Chain A
């Protein structure tokens, strides 16, 4: 059984016990524990079930590499699935639960898969569920989805807060082990702005556990002194519980800081994502030990040798009473020594190498521990816990030589540098035959904007395997002057690869050798994939799901591709690795979202009168990032009824529209007229001062992109109104042409959109209202249609534009935004006796459609030219050029067969659904039904008491009176007559009064 030792534990505080629950059972731990350590202290080795076969899973590792110990943590609005127990710190009140089992962790019905395992080979899903095709969507996928997925999805909004922050430094050191500390100190002494971040809560990494000595002292003393030195330097920022999750272009790195995981509800942000710009990144990310592939290596109790000694030394945990160490290298002997020093029994060290006579094996022998050379594990016995191992020769086929009872197996297949960060942004790897590992190739680093190395590795992350090499490498990586800190340790004899144990294991054994614990990928699966023709490691990964689990193959990748290489009869470097992608380990969605939730999820643009609209029944509609009233509902009114009321009231009495969102761009300079003549299809340079003109803007491909009223303000300045959504885009468009193409033209622009509140006063009573306010002459004679004037209207600084988008007598009045709300209030108050009512965007749409005015985004969609819309009158024939002119002369745009704008009215007066197409005879070369047009706008007209629509129809204007027949979305046939798109007041009598 696993239990807590009575002494030791360098990271735990025995004076601070904490209680937590696991699957509802109350358990005790100590402050400083990881959840994995606490579980082991409570003899809870079984922590989950594997994904495919639901096999029992125990804790394997002690850090980020852990594939098995995945937990659902917290409850309710703080529940989070798939959290690794090995990287979760235990705290008082922690609630943890295992995953992927039913009905219970101890008894799982899914484990029946175990017996069927041979029917679930690699690619099983692909092979089985491909036929019949239709079954996938309706039968297979829903069933597979039921059984898929490890963790449960949280059902409540997250109660915690998260944030992001921007950080800058010269040197970002990832990893706070002795290599990171050394590199950071060297860089800091050189005056660099240094960030040193460590993903766990403790500094120093493995060195104290491995018994290293630095500067003649135990590693811990050196770590403490170095930390004190760094802490005293102003140019150094130190962070624990902070992981560099990814390295991106130009030294952009993400640092994931966990602030309040152990203190939920303390008011601090739970996680903070630092978006860093680092001049250089030093990856001191250490190395991860590899498992060995032997029969039953997934049975709980089989752990990494390094993890076993981590638990013993750091947390005073005995993972088992009697441990067998199995290895192909000297390092694992440190585990035997750590166990021995803690008073635990090491039954034997099984070493695959024919000779084990280095310093560490000798030390182990001196303690009286058996060392079996040239041996392997033939079989691990047990189901939910190891009970014994059978021993065989490594070179043979697994004939059992002896059996050794044990309840823990500590395995070591050598070490792999953590190359993820190095690789994220293009750093290349090279195969190191001696240590059987891919190590970063310092001659091919990830490159920055000037071709400079973005990253440099330090310590074990470089492939340095002894403490002396680690410190020398890290010191150099940090640009250190002079000698690296001195260190010494026992010499280590070479390791020997043992990708499969024993080497000649038959198929039956290989089918029980796990590579990927979480996804149940075995040696036999990878070999099967190779036999079936999968030669690319990326394809094999996806076919077998090797390395596709939440641990992303931190333990399984190298072993898997070694097996694949062997099966393909090629050297490992020829197979290569799969791609390393950020994040290094999963980061929370909360951290990615940052502050963007609730009220500040995204910018919501508001006009000065926004609060009035909100308080007066506004039914909101998003327009770009603005919110605009779609209509104003009165109590008991539907949206449709409100729109109809607003239309009728505006036509008969007086309507107010908050038009503040319309773009207003001031264009000024000696060349401003010339500039606008190029931007608009019609002439603007000859517009008289005090006059307004409707204009169209096309892009250089000839397509209509915006429209609006242009106002001549003075001799050298024009005010260009744009659509609401077009304001920023058109301003940028203007600047683009001025800065990049016509840089010698003397024109300045300024976007004044938000400087003014602009209110449209519309309807037969519009003039009466303005006269009531007083201060400006708004008569037909003084202020005729399409003119403007500035002055003081009812005490407000006002510009009155006599323009109309409704066909009614209409004034658009701009006042400074700071006076906008007061102006609106005044119009509402003074207009009361004139029947004033505000109207929203839908009423605006109906009013304009009744008049046949086009709307950008309805009648235009990026493929429409003004000529399609009957707007040839707004295209200057005199001008030599304007943006889009040459494009509009191309054959396809000048084609008389292009669909043209017409009106449509149904024979029965009903409203046509939006977006319908009109079928034509025959089919096109794709076998699709030909079409001859489509609906662009369709409304119920309360003025005409029937449905009206605008449409683009082939040869439309020549087909007036023709009845089109076309199906609606339900297949019902609609009959509609082609007509003039101007449905109401064709003479324009109403607006020109």
Chain B
């Protein structure tokens, strides 16, 4: 297999917080009946994680499970493991109506790191970050494109968007994090 590269090859920029493309990240879209025990079991088998409640994230180890909609999850696993994880999900859910598909390369993932990380995010997304719980994920709009964001570390937020607009979102985040423009 050819060597894979992420949309911006790990580009980063430092202002009052640091914005960096996170590189390759395995991602799987799973659409299924989230109330079915089989779905939870299948996800646990792949990630070791519980299903998140609506608008929540469960994370641990090298993975995370993000609630996207009443019948959709975004599952994060290491990039190289995504195809195998899809196969395992298909196997576990055989017979149950579901759709599991790799979307790793359809997306770009960014981290925004620093004590004032949300100051940068507040300039782009109509999200009340003060009212968000630590394990919440928010699908919203970042400037002119769709994106999702969640707190992925002590001073770190993750932002995931579509791959084709990676340069735009990076530009917006870096601009929002410009030194001297903290809120």
Contacts and interface: CB of A to CB of B under 8 A. Distances in A.
Tell me, yes or no, whether A binds B.
yes
Contacts of B127: 166
A574 B176 CA distance: 50
A603 B165 contact: yes
Given A163-B181, A817-B163, A670 B126 contact: no
Contact of A165 (B102, B123, B171): B123
Given A607-B164, A668-B99, A748-B99, A277 B128 contact: yes
Contact of B164 (A267, A596, A606): A606
Given A596-B143, A755-B105, A816 B4 contact: yes
The size class of the interface chain A forms with chain B is 35 or more
B68 to A, nearest CB: 11
Given A666-B101, A818-B4, A818-B6, A750 B180 contact: no
Contact of A275 (B1, B3, B71, B126): B126
B103 A750 contact: yes
B113 interface: no
B5 A755 contact: no
A604 B106 CA distance: 16
Interface string B159-183: 0001111111001100110111101
A626 B144 CA distance: 14
Contacts of B176: 163, 595
B40 to A, nearest CB: 18
Nearest to A268: B180
A26 to B, nearest CB: 30
A277 B126 CA distance: 9
Contact of B122 (A165, A599, A819): A165
A914 interface: no
Nearest to A237: B183
B126 A267 contact: no
A817 B31 CA distance: 22
A607 B130 CA distance: 36
A907 interface: no
A268 B131 contact: no
B127 to A, nearest CB: 7
A670 B4 CA distance: 34
B126 A166 contact: yes
Nearest to A716: B97
Given A161-B178, A668-B99, A604 B167 contact: yes
A166 B5 contact: no
Contacts of A165: 122-123, 183
A796 interface: yes
Contacts of B106: 751-755, 817
A168 B2 contact: no
Interface in B1-41: 1-7, 24, 29, 31-32
Nearest to B97: A746
Given A166-B125, A268-B180, A595 B4 contact: no
A168 B130 contact: yes
Contact of A605 (B32, B124, B164): B164
A770 B4 CA distance: 21
A795 interface: yes
A604 B175 CA distance: 16
B169 to A, nearest CB: 8
A936 interface: no
Nearest to B179: A267
Nearest to B142: A603
A822 interface: yes
Contacts of B181: 161, 163, 268-269
A821 B105 contact: no
A267 B167 CA distance: 23
A566 interface: no
Contact of B167 (A268, A606, A821): A606
A279 to B, nearest CB: 11
A433 to B, nearest CB: 44
Contacts of B130: 168, 193
The size class of the interface chain B forms with chain A is 35 or more
Contact of A168 (B123, B128, B165): B128
Contacts of B4: 816, 818-819
B2 A823 contact: yes
A509 B30 CA distance: 80
Nearest to A794: B2
Given A795-B2, A796-B1, A796-B2, A750 B143 contact: no
A606 B144 CA distance: 15
B122 A166 contact: yes
A164 interface: yes
A449 interface: no
Contact of A752 (B97, B101, B168, B178): B101
Contacts of B149: none
A381 B98 CA distance: 87
B58 interface: no
B134 interface: no
A256 interface: no
A748 B144 contact: no
Given A754-B105, A818-B105, A666 B131 contact: no
B104 interface: yes
A750 B1 contact: no
A605 B167 CA distance: 8
Interface in A767-825: 792, 795-797, 815-819, 821-823
Contacts of B32: 748
A821 B107 CA distance: 16
B123 A163 contact: yes
A816 B166 CA distance: 16
A712 B1 CA distance: 25
B172 A595 contact: yes
Nearest to A817: B105
B80 to A, nearest CB: 11
A909 interface: no
B180 A266 contact: yes
B145 interface: yes
Contacts of B123: 163-166, 595
Interface string A260-286: 000000111100100101000000000
Contacts of B31: 748, 750
B102 to A, nearest CB: 7
A754 B183 CA distance: 34
A8 interface: no
Contacts of B143: 595-596, 600, 603
B42 to A, nearest CB: 15
A669 interface: yes
A162 to B, nearest CB: 10
Interface string A602-634: 111111100000000000000001100000000
Contacts of A750: 29, 31, 99, 101, 103
B180 to A, nearest CB: 4
Contacts of A605: 162, 164-165
Contacts of A606: 164, 166-167
Contacts of A816: 4, 104-105
A599 B106 CA distance: 22
A756 interface: yes
Nearest to B165: A603
A425 to B, nearest CB: 19
23 contacts: A163-B175, A267-B179, A268-B180, A602-B144, A605-B164, A625-B165, A666-B101, A668-B99, A748-B32, A748-B97, A750-B29, A750-B103, A754-B106, A755-B101, A756-B105, A792-B1, A815-B2, A818-B5, A818-B24, A818-B79, A819-B2, A819-B3, A823-B2
Closest 4 A/B residue pairs (Cβ): A818-B4, A817-B105, A748-B99, A605-B164
Interface of A: 161, 163-168, 193, 266-269, 272, 275, 277, 595-596, 599-600, 602-608, 625-626, 666, 668-670, 717, 746, 748-756, 792, 795-797, 815-819, 821-823, 826
Given A595-B123, A816-B105, 19 more contacts: A267-B178, A268-B180, A595-B124, A595-B143, A602-B168, A604-B165, A604-B168, A605-B164, A605-B165, A666-B99, A746-B97, A749-B99, A754-B105, A754-B106, A792-B1, A796-B2, A816-B4, A819-B1, A826-B2
